[in-house]
Amino acid sequence: MSVDLSNVRNIGISAHIDSGKTTLTERILFYTDRIHAIHDVRGKDGVGAKMDSMELERERGITIQSAATFCNWKGKDINIIDTPGHVDFTIEVERALRVLDGAVLVLCSVGGVQSQSITVNRQMTRYKVPRIAFINKCDRTGANPERVTAQLREKLGLNAHMMQLPIGLENDLVGVIDLVTMKALYFDGDNGEVVREEEIPAALQERAKEKREELLEAVSMFSDELMEVMLEEGDIDPALIHAAVRKGTLSLELTPVFVGSAYKNKAVQPMLDGVNAYLPCPTDVENMALDLNNEEKEFAVSNNPDDSLIMLAFKLEDGRYGQLTYVRTYQGKLSKGDTVFNSRTGKKVKIGRLCRMHSDEMEDIDFCGSGDIVALFGVDCASGDTFSSGDISCSMSSMHIPEPVISLAIVPVDNKAQINMSKALNRFTKEDPTFKTFVDHETNETIISGMGELHLEVYVERMKREYNAEVQVGAPQVAYREAITARAEFNYTHKKQTGGSGQFGRVAGYMEPLEEGEYEFVDAIVGGAIPREFISSCDKGFQKSLVKGALCGSVVTGVRCVINDGAFHAVDSSDVAFQLAAIGAFKEGYMKAKPVIMEPIMKVSVEGPTEFQGSIMGSINQRRGMIIGTMEEGNYTVVEADVPLSEMFGYSTVLRSLTQGKAEFTMEFSAFKHVPKTVNDELIKKYQSEKKNA
């Protein structure tokens, strides 16, 4: 049985934190008859939103894990992934956008384009995802969708145009005007489920004509036929406008803007019509794969269900049913009981159970085809693995994974907690590529690293709740880096004579700063000064040296190690001897290469009443922050700055007390920069003291 892919939509719902993504998804599920009652995101009724299935999500009123569901709207099958808005869970957005064909960018009609909106838009651009915008919360005081549309153009560089005008704003929001059909739409019934079409109110007719002209002028650039009709001043068929808007959206050159209020059940259905009309079906999007049998040449996947199977595992979840692997099928079809081939490991896997997910519920299915997003059971794989039928070996391009910037030491309170903590860490590191864990051999502590304080706080809380692992948490530690700033030569001989055969290896060459990338090894040996079998040993030795730098014990990055000379002994040279020689050579050259400590700098955005602007800027300056710009919008000020992460701990408490709880801030990683000399000296002194005590 083949599915008409033109009737399939794979979409993500993404936005800045607290813009109403999960509330919007809840309404979509209600209007498409997937759920039969609407629940509040904050879980005041004890139930919580359908897509926030984790207890922590319901308590905090935030989305932590992306959740998948599917529904049908007017004959179109829509797979939806609701993603988190908080920057700490950015990997959830990243992997959702990697496998989706289109997206809905949700914005608050008061907050407008905020810092995380910019990040999400950048992620959409990275994966070339066509998008429509939904300006939510038009019922709030200070709502101004036209200003937000202007911000989409100015701040995000999108060619954004309103498809609708609100009828009333704030408490007076009653409906919207459709600028394509020039009809007023009202939403009746207990939950806005009845869409009533009327003539446009007389007071808004002139404004509607003006905005329609603007829209037609923008979309006529994508249709010669529409432009001709406009020049002849004839009646314009709405189908012509829809076709032009769709063409502009798919080419990423136009962003249709819808307005409404999900919480007040206003104008969600027309936005769904926009998903159907303007966002791509799987065949509208070109997805590339690497042919592993043919010099890794790229080819476009066909989306044809009759071709060989290609699917990508984009998310793992170790839930109450065992390990779930979320996959997107790009071509071919998969049936229960089929055997598939993992391109990375070369292993064959039999598919025992196939499901469609509806948040934390599942529906067993017998098969899926190209364009589907489904879940598999009992498949051992990693996030980003490509599966195929045995006759083709290929790999879909992987997703971008940001590096962790913050660490915590955790200590289990007893032996039982130790066992449970290990189970939890195993699961979390498998599920989340931005969550890392390791044991510091000097202090014997377990260190967890992630994208921010909230990220780690949530994982510690989940350890306690889901695994009953009581742990004590140390103070947050910044993930510093070390880097060299000058070229330095090394010439080191490792010589050790013990009973029997000894160890001998000489490694000579130089190290220099590497602008792009973390580490590069260059073999410039001529004449067999070091035998070929020991070249990789030198590389291993250098890589081991990068794990802990000599200044503050942090990872060393941005180093190119070049070996151009050496010596060996016919009997005493070995893999271990050359690894140790390379470690000695690195130590010899490192301090001569003028190493420095680098710290993560965060892009911080603080929003608060204008009366507190001076206090906000003062608090940033005190934290070694560099203010990039300020922007005033009505009575609100937005201050943007670059601030070292080490200075941001506890900032939320300080900001609340400075602004009577009226300001809030968001931050995301920007770059690594050299620390000032005073901080540099402090960190070195602290590390030397810890080493001495250890």
pTM higher than 0.75: no
For tokens 């009226």, the residue is 662
Long-range (24+ apart) CB contacts under 8 A made by 247-250 are: 247/222, 247/223, 248/159, 248/218, 248/219, 248/221, 248/222, 249/130, 249/131, 249/132, 249/278, 249/279, 250/130, 250/278, 250/280, 250/284
pLDDT tens-digit profile of 123-171? 788 888 899 999 999 988 888 999 999 999 988 889 999 999 999 888 8
> What confidence tens digit (pLDDT) does each residue in 53-94 have?
455 555 555 555 566 788 888 888 888 876 765 666 677 777
| Residues 258 and 162 placed together within one structural domain of the fold | yes
pLDDT of 625 strictly over 60: yes
* Rama region for 388: left / alpha / beta (φ>0; ψ in -120 to 50; rest): beta
Same domain, 501 and 552: yes
The pLDDT assigned to 43 comes to: 45
Compute CA 126 distance to the chain's CA centroid, rounded to the nearest angstrom.
11
Rounded mean pLDDT, 371-378: 84
Tell me the pLDDT band of 296, cut-offs 50, 70 and 90.
low
Q: Give the DSSP per-residue string, 91-152.
A: HHHHHHHHH-SEEEEEEETTTBS-HHHHHHHHHHHHTT--EEEEEE-TTSTT--HHHHHHHH
Q: Is residue 576 part of a domain?
A: yes
Q: What confidence score (pLDDT) does residue 385 get?
A: 83
pLDDT at site 500: 64
Same domain, 147 and 230: yes
Boundary (domain end) residue, out of 351, 372, 396: 396
pLDDT tens, 201-234? Answer: 999 999 999 999 999 999 999 988 888 888 887 7
**What are the tens digits of pLDDT across the range 169-178?**
888 889 999 9
Q: How far is CA 32 from CA 36, 233, 370, 473, in A?
A: 9, 39, 23, 45
690 falls within a domain: no
Name the band, by pLDDT with cuts 50, 70 and 90, for residue 42.
very low
375 and 419 share one domain? no
Helix ranges, 232-267 (H): 238-250
Which segment of 176-185, 204-213, 370-379 scores lowest on mean pLDDT? 370-379
Residue range 654-680: mean pLDDT, rounded: 84
- What ranges make up the beta strands (E) of 189-279? 194-198, 255-259
Average pLDDT for the chain: 84
Q: By residue range, what is the domain housing residue 616?
A: 598-678
Looking at residue 46, its pLDDT comes to 40
pLDDT score recorded for residue 77: 86
**Alpha carbon separation from 327 to 102, 225, 233 (Å, rounded):** 17, 40, 49
Same domain membership, residue 117 and residue 225: yes
- The domain tally of the chain equals 5
Q: pLDDT digit string (tens) for 322-350?
A: 678 888 888 888 888 888 888 888 888 88
Do 307 and 276 sit in the same domain of this protein? no
Asked whether residue 265 falls in the same domain as residue 294, the answer is no
Work out the widest C-alpha separation in the chain, in whole angstroms: 101
Pair 651, 587 in one domain: no
Residue 379 maps to a domain? yes
What pLDDT does residue 242 have?
Answer: 92
What pLDDT is recorded for position 84?
65
Asked whether the predicted pLDDT for residue 44 surpasses 50, the reply is no
Write down the pLDDT at residue 593.
92
248 pLDDT above the threshold of 90: yes
- CATH number for the domain spanning 525: value is 3.30.230.10
For 498-544, the pLDDT digits (tens) are 666 788 999 999 999 987 778 999 999 888 889 988 999 999 999 99
